Amino acid sequence: MIGKRKAVRIAPELWAAIQDNLEALGVSSVEEYVEAVLREDMREKGLLPAYTPEEEREVERRLRDLGYLD
């Protein structure tokens, strides 16, 4: 997600654990990991839509290309 960001404070040892394991976590930054975990948790709880508008457009495009949509 692009745009303005807000700061969130986390315990230094948690930040260090994430930073030390970026590759294993499949992310390039602590911020990327924290944002992904929070987004997934909120989606599971129904507090965020399953897809962003951009993702929805991509799914529709792919379904159209496969012939499932007109």
Q: Return the pLDDT at 2.
A: 59
> Which DSSP letter does residue 45 get?
T
Segment 47-51 shows an average pLDDT of 90
pTM of the model: 0.70
Rg (CA), the chain: 16
Number of domains comprising the chain:
1
- With 60 as the cut, is the pLDDT of residue 1 above it? no
For residue 4, is it within any domain?
Answer: no
For residue 5, is it within any domain?
Answer: no
Q: What is the pLDDT of residues 13-40, one digit of tens each?
A: 999 999 999 999 999 999 999 999 999 9
- With 90 as the cut, is the pLDDT of residue 68 above it? yes
For residue 17, is it within any domain?
Answer: yes
The range of the structural domain enclosing residue 55 comes to: 12-65
For residue 60, is it within any domain?
Answer: yes
> How many Cβ atoms from other residues are within 10 Å of residue 65's Cβ?
9
Q: What is the mean pLDDT of the chain?
A: 93
- Which of 17, 18, 48 is CA-nearest to residue 31? 18
Using CB atoms within 10 Å of the CB of residue 55, give its burial: 0 to 12 exposed, 13 to 18 middle, 19+ buried: exposed
For residue 43, is it within any domain?
Answer: yes
